[in-house]
């Protein structure tokens, strides 16, 4: 039997309450793999974690090996294969995700220092807590023992949103849509890009879409979808975020036939700084992520992605003093 250890931070929170159960009931890992799940939250949330643990047990998941609940990051991260950094403050109505930066930065700084000490060098880290791309930069800075390639931030929620909105527009199934990618920051400057998108391998339907719909409806709708959810639910997205984390993890473990969107810090051919976590069109083969550097960008696309880069460079400037430590 093969065992994988998955750590989830913020395990008493909203996203985790969907995520844990998706992972344990899902099919990312093959049948001969058992999962040890390490659940980390802060001390006042230990009571909630105990309830979550009982509920996990009550599901009698065949894939479950064991559960650790803890408020000690070193215990949670030790020997972990996948570290899902969810635990952080969410925004509320009227806030931008970047408004969380200074509140959440210290969480990621402290955890990254401990990850650096106790985690496996091969561990894959997925940063979810907002602002996810810049928190990933903090993790990269303080967890130098983990290769940069093993750190990614969540953009799959944006990619899924874009796919679903396009699917409704064209009355085509989501699984017929490919090569729909989201560039940039997980924020209102992200650029959902239909330039190369195919429906059942063909570009003719997408090419017929009116540009006014793309510019005035599609792009802003995807960019502001998180805020739209908060407006209606009073809380930020949780089940859809968990589903996107599941998809992201699945792509890392099992690779992907389609282009993926994730925040990565890499040299690239698109004139984007390699000192920020930025979402590109990615190819994942044999669990190795590479940027698809072959796309020709229109002037408009280039403008969008440079705007998102500028925002991420501003976020990096805001945390510059933290990165000096
Ligand atoms: P939540 O408030 O329901 O849960 C957050 C949990 O984190 C709480 O249980 C809290 O106690 C815990 N926590 C706080 N500090 C911690 C620490 N130092 N160590 C461990 N746990 C800690 O929030 P949520 O809805 O689950 O969202 C979590 C984060 O994910 C937010 O920052 C939210 O904005 C972000 N998010 C990101 C995306 C994305 O696509 N990147 C999508 C949705 C939400
Ligand atoms: C989302 O996109 O739903 C999350 O990042 C939560 C938020 O603040 O919008």
Q: Give the distance from CA 162 to its chain's centroid.
A: 15
Task: Read off the pLDDT of residues 78-88 as tens digits, 9 standing for 90 and up.
Answer: 999 999 999 99
- Ligand 2: which residue has its CA nearest to atom 4? 226
Which sign, positive or negative, has the C-alpha torsion 82, 222, 17, 107? positive
Could you tell me if the CB of 240 is within 6 A of ligand 2?
no
Confidence of residue 98 (pLDDT cuts 50, 70, 90): confident
Q: Write the residue with the smallest CA distance to atom 1 of ligand 2.
A: 226
Q: pLDDT over 70 for what percent of the chain?
A: 100
**Structural domains in the chain, sorted by start:** 2-153 (3.40.50.720), 156-316 (3.90.110.10)
pLDDT at 1 > cutoff 80: no
Identify the band that residue 287 occupies on the pLDDT scale cut at 50, 70 and 90: confident
Quick one: tokens of 91? 């925004």
User: Whole-angstrom Cα distance, residue 130 to residue 114?
Assistant: 20
Q: Strand order in 33-40's β-sheet? A: 64-70, 33-40, 2-9, 82-85, 124-127, 151-154, 260-264, 278-285, 288-291
Q: In the predicted model, is pLDDT for residue 325 greater than 90?
A: no
Q: What are phi and psi of 125, to 5 degrees?
A: -115, 125
pLDDT at 141: 98
CA distance 281 to 299: 17
CA-CA distance, 267 to 279, in Å (whole number)?
Answer: 12
Specify the ligand 2 atom closest to the Cα of 240. 3
Q: Where are the alpha helices (DSSP H) in 89-218?
A: 101-118, 132-142, 156-170, 204-207, 211-213
Q: Tell me, yes or no, if 248 is annotated catalytic.
A: no
Of the chain, the end-to-end C-alpha distance in Å amounts to: 42
Close Cβ partners of 165 (under 8 Å, ≥ 6 residues apart): 218, 221, 222
Neighbours of 253 (CB within 10 A): 17
Q: Residues 44-57: what's their mean pLDDT?
A: 98
Cβ of 97 less than 6 Å from ligand 2:
yes
Report whether residue 14 contacts ligand 2, using a CB cutoff of 6 Å. Answer: no
Count Cβ atoms below 10 Å from residue 73 Cβ, excluding itself: 22
The total of other beta-carbon atoms located within 10 Å of residue 215's CB is: 11
State how far the Cα of 128 lies from the Cα of 130, in Å rounded to an integer. 6
Please, what is the angle between helix 101-118 and helix 132-142, to 10°? 40
For residue range 183-193, list pLDDT tens digits in order: 999 999 999 99
* Cβ of 237 less than 6 Å from ligand 2: yes
Give pLDDT tens digits for 163-210.
Answer: 999 999 999 999 999 999 999 999 999 999 999 999 999 999 999 999
Alpha-carbon distance 113 to 99, whole Å?
23
């Amino acid at each position: 039997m093969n065992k994988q250890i998955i750590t989830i931070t913020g395990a008493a929170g909203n996203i985790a309450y969907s995520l844990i159960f998706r992972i344990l009931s899902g099919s990312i890992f093959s049948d001969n793999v058992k999962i040890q799940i390490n659940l980390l939250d802060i001390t006042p949330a230990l009571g909630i974690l105990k309830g979550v643990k009982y509920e996990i047990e009550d599901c009698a998941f065949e894939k479950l090996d064991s559960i650790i609940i803890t408020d000690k990051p070193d215990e949670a991260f030790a020997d972990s294969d996948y570290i899902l950094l969810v635990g952080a403050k969410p925004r509320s109505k009227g806030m931008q995700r970047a408004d969380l930066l200074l509140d959440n930065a210290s969480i990621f700084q402290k955890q990254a220092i401990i990850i650096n000490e106790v985690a496996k060098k091969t561990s894959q880290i997925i940063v979810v807590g907002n602002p996810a791309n810049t928190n990933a930069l903090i993790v990269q800075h303080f967890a130098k023992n983990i290769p940069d390639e093993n750190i990614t931030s969540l953009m799959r929620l944006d990619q899924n949103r874009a796919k679903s909105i396009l699917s409704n527009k064209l009355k085509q199934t989501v699984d017929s849509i490919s090569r729909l990618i989201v560039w940039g920051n997980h924020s209102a400057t992200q650029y959902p890009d239909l330039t190369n998108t195919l429906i059942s391998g063909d570009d003719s339907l997408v090419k017929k879409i009116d540009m006014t719909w793309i510019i005035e409806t599609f792009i802003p709708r995807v960019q502001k979808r998180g805020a739209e959810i908060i407006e209606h639910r009073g809380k930020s997205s949780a089940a859809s975020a968990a589903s996107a984390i599941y998809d992201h993890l699945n792509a890392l473990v099992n690779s992907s036939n389609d282009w993926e969107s994730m925040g990565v810090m890499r040299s690239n051919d698109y004139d984007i700084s390699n000192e920020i976590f930025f979402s590109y069109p990615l190819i994942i083969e044999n669990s190795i992520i590479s940027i698809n550097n072959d796309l020709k960008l229109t002037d408009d696309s280039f403008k969008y992605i440079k705007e998102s880069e500028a925002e991420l460079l501003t976020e990096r400037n805001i945390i510059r003093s933290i990165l000096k430590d």
